[in-house]
Homo-oligomer: A and B are copies of this chain.
Amino acid sequence: MIKYSKTDLAALDMITRLTLVNSITGYKPATLIGTVSKTGLTNLAIISSVVHLGSDPALLGFVMRPFVGERHTMENILETGFYTINHIHRDIAENAHFTSADFPRAHSEFEKCALTPQYLNDFAAPFVAESHIKIGLSLAEKIDIKLNGTTLIIGQVEYIYMDDTYFDPNHGLDLNRAGTICISGLDSYHEVNKFASFPYARLEALPNF
């Protein structure tokens, strides 16, 4: 077993530290955030920090770094109040990955990365047509994390679009069937296979460990 202390981490070169620390949280959800500016310029950003915050109302969060690539996403969300979260599957993983290049504002990542903007039900922000599970959200709160300049964007779910074969009333969405993938670190993409579901944990029905 090896140990990295806080001091060891600080002494690493920047790339090694970024690579290591971005991988220690475990597997991360692979999603694309779709937005559009008031003037109609679309933007698409790969994000691996989406997190469930509540079910009633349905609230999801994601973290924005204080860096260049994601600024268009944040500006568009603040301008319009709406955005989409779209699951990534294997066939669009490479397209999704390259949305993280530093495209100038006038160039839409949709076009440059060969993904299709899709407007559904008059929702203000574009979904990704190729995605199998698509969520439309309204901005609910923006929390600035002063410790390091990141921002937690919280949205309320307005719409969920998906193939109805994905919905398993016992376990929620069947993400294996939808082909949803996950991410580790900054560059690695993974397929996922369920091996177990366990019953709701009750004191009076614990397994004999």
Contact = CB atoms under 8 A, between A and B. Distances in A.
Interface of A: 1-6, 9-10, 14, 16-31, 48-61, 63, 65, 85, 87, 90, 93-95, 97-103, 112-114, 120-121, 133, 135, 140-141, 143, 145-148, 150, 152, 154, 156-164, 167, 169-173, 175-176, 180-182, 184-203, 206-207, 209
Given A26-B31, A143-B152, 16 more contacts: A2-B162, A20-B167, A20-B173, A25-B31, A27-B29, A28-B51, A28-B52, A49-B52, A52-B63, A53-B150, A102-B203, A140-B147, A188-B194, A189-B196, A189-B198, A193-B193
21 contacts: A3-B161, A5-B158, A9-B58, A19-B172, A21-B52, A21-B55, A21-B58, A21-B157, A22-B172, A24-B173, A25-B31, A26-B182, A27-B175, A27-B192, A49-B52, A53-B63, A57-B148, A61-B63, A113-B209, A175-B184, A184-B194
B23 A160 contact: no
Given A28-B29, A94-B207, A194-B188, A51 B51 contact: yes
Given A1-B161, A147-B154, A192 B203 contact: no
